[in-house]
């Protein structure tokens, strides 16, 4: 996996979301490992070409988020070792507001978790927090 941490513009938040992926050799379900305002890491066993465009959709509460993304790199997630792809969002369609609220919610959950853990004595208080910013793509 390339070290592109200097290229990131937004923080990433660890979260697991089941996605519907269209545009590869066959449509299938996938899962995120982290998300930012501009991209995400998606677990993928199949070979995916850099530059390929894929349509993704997932539910956020009672709303659907549908995005078009471009594969920027393929490799392993630094935190979990899962094989997958790093993608950037190229078209939000009509989902931009819903997606931005979703990422802001992850950021608020992370901030609340950080505030709670700062008063605890355990150094691993955030170990199970699913919205911790990640240095991995």
The domain spanning residue 44 has which CATH number?
2.40.10.220
User: Quick check: is 2 in a domain?
Assistant: no
User: Quick check: is 49 in a domain?
Assistant: yes
User: Quick check: is 52 in a domain?
Assistant: yes
Q: 10 Å Cβ neighbour count for 81?
A: 7
Distance (Å, rounded) from C-alpha 73 to C-alpha 61?
Answer: 30
Determine the structural domain holding residue 99 and report its residue range: 10-112
Reading the chain (137 residues) residue by residue, the pLDDT tens digits are 444 444 557 888 989 999 998 876 667 888 998 999 999 999 987 778 899 999 999 999 899 999 999 999 999 887 778 899 999 999 999 999 999 999 999 999 888 877 665 544 333 333 333 333 344 44
Distance (Å, rounded) from C-alpha 137 to C-alpha 17?
Answer: 16
């Amino acid at each position: 996996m390339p070290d592109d941490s200097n290229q990131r513009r937004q923080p990433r938040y660890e979260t697991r979301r089941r996605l519907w992926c269209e545009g590869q050799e066959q449509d299938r379900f996938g899962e995120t490992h982290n998300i930012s305002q501009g991209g995400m890491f998606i677990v993928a066993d199949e070979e995916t070409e850099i530059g390929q465009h894929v349509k993704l959709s997932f539910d956020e509460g009672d709303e659907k988020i549908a995005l078009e993304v471009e594969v920027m790199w393929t490799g392993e997630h630094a935190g979990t070792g899962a094989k997958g792809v790093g993608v950037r969002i190229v078209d939000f369609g009509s989902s931009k507001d819903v997606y931005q609220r979703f990422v802001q919610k992850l950021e608020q959950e992370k901030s609340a978790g950080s505030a709670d853990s700062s008063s605890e004595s355990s150094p691993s208080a955030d170990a199970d927090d699913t919205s911790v910013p990640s240095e991995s793509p």
